[in-house]
A and B are shown apart, each in its own frame.
Chain A
């Protein structure tokens, strides 16, 4: 593996540790790939279930209006409230309205890409509501004021030493660099927040139309905490997350965790049907479901329709040679990796991905790994074409990413190119990051810094190690 494009991420002036990120990414993605392979290897019905799952998604999209109507009716009949957000701004407004009306001062959140997509945390803070991320990885990066680097392992870029330092500094709790001790500290800190918070905000992995059930899948139990303790629960979900029935849901549950982490099921699958019932001791008094469009609906008939079937399992990230090189941050948007490029185009428009659409070698590994067999390469090509037709893709950038992709396909070529790149980048690099690249990558680095090619690439180091042995 190489250090060609590790994104810069430490803003506090501390030393970069790109080698750690690179190695962490390699180890994490390799481990996830192995776990996934094992999980499906011992699951002969897996292939048929994947086909089934995709067919259910497609069938649901074909009658999306009817399934959503059913979902809305059921949630309302159960005493829940349903809201409709065409845009991120509208979704924020709805949620802030609920926070204000209920007098919430703190909101506990369970890992939710949808709320990240709408930049909810900033909006909450602005309105005087403290958002607290409760997924351990998300909590760590929230304390560090950073962004997630992986859908499934958001803080994969941080060492235990960095986490210990962070906890000591921000929480004022002297912490040892030991994952178990650090987890205990986070448990204690977050336990208090769960017990205090008036408002709980989650995404939804699925929503079952027939029963009005919102389904949350977590390993840590934060989804359970939020659906048990705060007075008000708001679930934010993209319209495409609806599935018709409980029978359909089981098909997805059987493949989701296997694809994400190799587990047969994640530790907790939480299914909630509206607010607490009359003779229940716990559960929210108020339940709100926010149905989010934000660019999804127009894709029903668009180039990216297939991407509406995505389960956000992260499998396509792990197998992607580009993601494995550059990590989640370099993509610069909420959703990284191959599917992230498509979702970014869906949410922010094609222009947002005129460069990103080329951050793929079109090797097809994502399609093979995807539990619902989303043909990501096909849509990436379509996006490139549309952007070219709209006169949006300067040839220089295209060829730069193309060259990168070619390098990835030809290790020998890459090994030859890396030393050259180190020489060529010298005039551009200030310290350890490249502020602005002229020529090919100009537009790409306008919004993000690119770290310099590491003094030695992993493949060079690996060869050196081999010699030493």
Chain B
């Protein structure tokens, strides 16, 4: 087997033979990403209505369904309606600590058979397996959103404690709840935030996967016919809540 030293040695030998095709540098990274991120957030705090409108347009363009409600308390009603229209009953949701509110009880009142995800890992493999089967059998997955990108209509979800990767993946309907603090305008701004998130040690509870979700799962592999929901959800719903509900 080739070792790291041999492999890199070979690369260096070849590199030494050429100056390269033309003088070039990588993209200029923000020196203090956290500060730039803060500035972006401050500016967006004023411009959020335009950003939200752009997000809505792009999100709908990629096949998402957008809703706007005044407060988090109105969310279960919207989710209940989505579920009833699709004859969906079983729901899995991020843990209240990750979602910022325990929506399972009011969702039960809406007639949904809801379950919150555990706040962390499960050590017992059998419990883990059983939970995975329940997530796979669920009709709806309810999650929060870390970033909503206006330029592309995308939702960014970071995995972690209480926010398992499959909640937004296995059920055929994904419903995501967000407020103005998640809004960003562009991929370039996402770059700054990603730089900031990765600077220094990862905070406790942060997972290893970041997913940028741009509409429902799709394929055009059979005769170029656009078909939704091949592996991931066939519908993605985003509920914008006007009043931020997390401190």
Contacts and interface: CB of A to CB of B under 8 A. Distances in A.
Interface of A: 24, 27-28, 31, 52, 55-56, 58-62, 64-65, 68-69, 72, 78, 82-86, 90, 93-94, 134-137, 140, 153-156, 158-160, 163, 179-180, 182-183, 186-187, 190-191, 194-195, 210-211, 219-222, 224-225, 227-229, 239, 243-251, 253-254, 263-283, 291, 293, 297-301, 305-306
A135 B111 CA distance: 36
Q: What are the 8 A-B residue pairs with the smallest beta carbon separation, nearest first? A: A221-B232, A301-B17, A137-B221, A250-B191, A221-B231, A269-B212, A179-B225, A84-B7
Contacts of A94: 1
B223 A159 contact: yes
Contacts of B4: 72, 82, 84
Contacts of B122: 281
10 contacts: A58-B22, A64-B15, A160-B225, A187-B230, A221-B233, A247-B28, A247-B195, A254-B187, A281-B122, A281-B164
Contacts of A224: 165, 169, 211, 231-232
B43 interface: no
B245 to A, nearest CB: 23
Interface of B: 1-4, 6-8, 10-12, 14-15, 17-18, 20-22, 24-30, 58, 62, 117-122, 128, 131-132, 136, 151-154, 159-161, 164-166, 169, 187-188, 190-192, 194-195, 198, 202, 204-225, 227, 229-233
Contacts of A243: 26
Contacts of B214: 263-269
Nearest to A187: B230
Contacts of B161: 279-280
B26 A183 contact: no
Given A56-B26, A86-B10, A253 B166 contact: no
A28 to B, nearest CB: 6
Given A228-B166, A247-B27, A267-B216, A136 B8 contact: no
A68 B207 CA distance: 24
Contact of B187 (A93, A253, A266): A253
Contacts of B187: 250, 253-254, 265
Contacts of A134: 231
Contacts of B212: 265, 268-271
A268 B155 CA distance: 10
Nearest to B7: A84
Contact of B208 (A58, A93, A191, A273): A273
A325 to B, nearest CB: 19
Nearest to A280: B207
A279 B8 contact: no
A227 B11 contact: no
A267 B26 CA distance: 26
Interface centre among B120, B217, B225 (most CB of A within 10 A): B217
B224 A156 contact: yes
B166 A300 contact: no
B191 A249 contact: yes
Contacts of A156: 221, 224
Given A84-B6, A228-B169, A268-B213, A283 B225 contact: no
A259 to B, nearest CB: 15
Contacts of A282: 132, 159, 164-166
A271 B188 contact: no
B217 A277 contact: no
A265 B58 CA distance: 11
Contacts of A28: 224
Instruction: Output the residue of B15, B62, B209, B215 with the most chain A CB within 10 A.
Output: B209
A247 B121 contact: no
A239 B27 contact: no
B11 A276 contact: no
B218 A267 contact: yes
A116 B118 CA distance: 39
A220 B154 contact: no
A151 to B, nearest CB: 12
Contact of B222 (A93, A163, A277): A163
Contacts of A154: 221
Contact of A221 (B159, B208, B230): B230
A271 B28 CA distance: 21
Given A27-B224, A245-B195, A277-B206, A60 B217 contact: no
Contacts of A24: 223-224
Contacts of A279: 119-121, 160-161, 204-205
